[in-house]
Each structure stands twice: as structure tokens, then as C-alpha cells.
A and B are shown apart, each in its own frame.
Chain A
């Protein structure tokens, strides 16, 4: 089909016009963005010294700190969040909360009332960060009868309830009406005191799966050795491999194990992760006790297990000579290779 020159010219002209309109549109957007950034930068430049004086050097509040436009409020918000997350002196946080309550509440009220999910979420983050209690109460009252589908929003509404005292982190971890992710559970667990943690351990069997996983991780990370016996007992009865693996990891993280014998059975587990973690735990003990259990693992079918066993032996006194002796005796090719690998690593460290 042949297109006439005129039609072709019209097509080209139309496309060029569209391109021009689009370019003009982008240019206007860019100019508006630059103006917005300039307003924000001007606010920061004008007010930063006053903010530092007020927050860190006990000087008086200054009028220049009050944001007047939307851009200035955004800039003030960014500034205050940076201070909250980075540096403080006594009284800094309270000053920030008071300031936000007085000058930023209306800004966040609009955000919370937005139909856009992202705006509401940003509003929620800040209401929690700045402890805007009144705003939080109003928002919770408004949303108490609404069906919130988004998991992230549910979680932050729950945090809001903690902020205003309607619930506690402990209750949230225990409940199973709202399913939180492992990461969210972990964040809640980190807010708990010792008494609450004890309560969770006592009610371990009734916890939702994600809560259990988070609890096991947090106990290991925080080195709560007082729960070691509990986890060792749980290991014997736990049916789910995922939980057993997490428990072994948590126990290994604690760094101090009273007795390795409960873990010996895991050295022959069908799951390589369990064998690997158990070998790390057994490897914490002197070679004269642990050698007989670790050496056979040098012939394990999984590289990770072999490598962990070799590392555990090598790091001990006389460990290198134990490995060298074994290398001479064994006929397993993989064992010989892993010992060579470990010896090379040891050489590299020594250099």
C-alpha cells in the first residue's frame, strides 16, 4: 500500500507536535520540581543553624524553624526524621515531638485522610515516628470499622495502637487474627522486656508459626542463654524441620553451649542444614571430645557440611595436624579436597 506524501507529512507533523507537547510538559514538570527543591533547600539553609541550636545546645526556638509552605513542611519532616534516626541529646526527641504536634499535625492529617495508599502509609510512618497521639487516636477511630486489606497497613495500624496504648507488642505477637510477617514479628519482639519474653516462652506452643520463628531468632541474636535449655528440649520434640534449623542456628549464635551431646543425633540428620549447624555447635568443644564426631563429616555428601567440619577442626589447637593425619588415612576424595581447601585458607590467614 502506498502512502501519499501529504499523508506522510501529516503523520510526521502530528508526531512532532506530540513530541513538542510532551517536551514542554516535561520541561514544566522539571521547572516545578526545581522550584520545589529550591524552596526545600532554602528552608533547610535558613533554619538548620536554629534547629541545631534548639535541639542540641539548649537555645531558644526561632521563627525561621516554622515551615509555612508544603515544600517547607516536607523539608522540615526530612530534617526531623534524620535527627531522630541519627543523633540526639537529652530532650531532643521531646522537642521534635512537640514541634511536630504543633506545626505538622494538619499536614499529616491530610495525608492520613488521602485515598492514595502511599500517602496514608507515609502519614502513618510519621505519626508513629513523631508520636502524634491525638492524630493517631482519631485515625484509629476512623479506621476501626474499615476492612484493611493491605498487610503493611495492618501492621502499621497495629503499631499505632501500641503508640496510643490500646495494645502491647506482647499481645500483637501472641494474637493470630492479623498475620504479621517474620520481619514484623521480629520488630515487635525487640520491643519486649524480659518478663514479656518469659511469657512468650511459657506459651511457645500457642504462638503462630511466624512468631515462633521470630522469637527463636531474637533469642539467639540477643544471646539469651537462659532459654538455652528450653530450646534444647524443644529440639527433641519439634517436628518441623524449619523450626529445628532455626533453633540450631539460634543456639549456635549464643556462642556458649553447656553440653554438645544433645546435638550429636543431628550430625546424622537427613537435612544438611541440621548437620551443618550441629557440626558448628559440636566444633565449639575441644578436639579431644569432638574429633570423633567431626571427622566423619569430612566425608559428608554436602560441601557445606564438609567445609564447616573442616573449619571447626582447623580453628582448634592441633587441628591442622588432625586434618593432615586424616587426609593421609582417608580414601574419600571429597574429604581430601576439603582438607586441602581448608589448609589453603589457613595459609592465607597466616600470611
Chain B
């Protein structure tokens, strides 16, 4: 980003570009408003620019009462680290002479100017904390789609897994599931060809094309990082495990496996795709 304190309309254009990555990265953009309580606490432009990182964008407050920061790929933890850094950099002592308002943006259509306006017109509550996290319609993004493929030749086990996955409640994701009875059917379908994150549950022994061949195929695709591969196997030797992980399998599940464990693993893998 250019090393200057922007005006809000300039910042709006940059914000619009950053929003383009929201759907792909699933990481929110945090907007931070630093408002000094006293005139003495006001930073100069140079002081702000000295502190701010290259990846972040700062712009003037329209009423010249403080400054705003746009922190891409930043959730609460990153904002907390940012504020801690600010405290150290400017030697800020308690009680803090600043009001800080933070909001997360997950909506790729939200307008920066509208967000700033909304925050500035929010009724001021009795502040018990110097840092206030606010929500708005921009905080909720649309649910992302995750594709799930069940490549298992045994129909009843496929049904058990399908039913198990359908009972898992995910706050931020919609699951689209398809079943395949062999590796060849999966490979020759168009199902794996999209930008969506894709979780593949497959048996190691399959008709027509076995599990390892499918893994090899997936890991040689462009953007193969989108694939998370669980392999069901009854081969328990360490040698097999080593080979499997070297081939690019993310999780080996030994049969017979506990269905609740599978559900936990599934949920955990999907939730890790969400940026907190």
C-alpha cells in the first residue's frame, strides 16, 4: 500500500479491491477507529505512518477526530495484537486516552463509507472498555460452500457417512455432497473441478481406480491445496502411514473407526477453514 494517510474516498477504492479476496481467503477485514479523548492525544500523520504496517491502510477521519485503519486478513486476535503493538509503540499508559472501535467485515459487497457512517452514528454507550467491538450487517458474510466427495465402494458405508455428514451443523459453511462408487467415476466427473474447498473421503481399495491413484491424481491438479483428503484403510503398518502422508493424504482413518470420531475430525477440518 502507498505510504500515506488516505482520504475516505481513496480508502474506499482500496477497500473494494481487498474485498475481492474475502470469498477466497475467508479471512475478514477489520476496521479500526482510533479516536483520541483529548487534543493532546491526537497523533500526527507522520506518527501514524511510522507505526502502521505496509499491508494495512490508514485514512483520515472525516471530522478529523482520530484516524481509521483497514487491516486485511485480520480477525479479533490480529486486531488485539495490533492494539498491543500500538500501546507499546506510543508508550500509552492506562487509563488509555483513546476510544477504539473495531468491526469485522465479511460481506464482499459492503461499502466502507457506509460502514464508517454507521459506526459514527452508533449511539454511544456507557463505555466500560476502551475497546468496543461492534457488529453490523457487514459482519455476516454469506455462507461458503464446501464440496464433499464420498468415494467408497460399499453402498451401506457410503450411506452411513452421508447421513453422518448431514447431521453435522456448521455455522459458516454449506455442504454439497456427492457419492462415487469407484475412483474412476470420481476422476472422470466434473465435480472436483471448481475453486471450492473440497473434502474427499475415500477408501484405499476401490474398483477400477484405487484410493492411492486418486490421491496422486488430486495432488497433481492445479490448486491441489483446496483438497483435504481422508483415507479409510484397514492397513495399519507404519510403512503404509508414511507412504500415505508422503503421497499427500491429510488424515488416515483406520477401519473399523468410531463414527463420532469421524464427525469430530470432519467438523474440525471444515472449521479450520473459517478465519476467527
Contact = CB atoms under 8 A, between A and B. Distances in A.
Contacts of A150: none
Given A52-B163, A221-B237, A223-B238, A85 B256 contact: yes
A221 B235 CA distance: 12
| Chain A interface SS verdict (over half) | helix
Contacts of A284: none
Contact of B255 (A56, A87, A221): A87
Interface in B74-120: none
Interface in A241-296: none
Contacts of A87: 157, 160-161, 255-259, 262
Nearest to B161: A87
B55 interface: no
29 contacts: A44-B156, A48-B156, A52-B159, A52-B160, A56-B160, A56-B164, A56-B259, A83-B156, A85-B234, A85-B256, A86-B157, A86-B232, A86-B255, A86-B257, A87-B161, A87-B255, A87-B256, A87-B257, A87-B258, A87-B259, A88-B256, A88-B259, A89-B258, A89-B259, A89-B260, A90-B258, A90-B260, A221-B238, A223-B238
Interface centre among B156, B164, B234 (most CB of A within 10 A): B156
A86 B256 contact: yes
Given A52-B163, A221-B237, A82 B258 contact: no
A79 interface: yes
B271 interface: no
A222 to B, nearest CB: 9
Nearest to B239: A253
Contacts of B163: 52
Contacts of A85: 234, 255-256
A232 to B, nearest CB: 21
A83 B256 CA distance: 8
Interface of A: 44, 48, 52, 56, 79, 82-90, 221, 223
Most buried by A among B154, B160, B164: B160
B258 A88 contact: yes
A87 B262 CA distance: 10
Contacts of B164: 56
B48 to A, nearest CB: 48
Contacts of B232: 86
A87 B156 CA distance: 11
A79 B256 contact: no
A87 B237 CA distance: 20
Contacts of B259: 56, 87-89
A60 B137 CA distance: 45
Chain A to chain B: the 3 pairs with minimum beta-carbon distance, closest first = A89-B259, A86-B157, A86-B255
B164, B255, B259: which has the most chain A beta carbons within 10 Å?
B259
Interface string B233-276: 01001100000000000000001111110100000000000000
B163 to A, nearest CB: 6
Nearest to B257: A87
A87 B164 CA distance: 11
A86 B154 contact: yes
A253 to B, nearest CB: 8
A83 B238 CA distance: 25
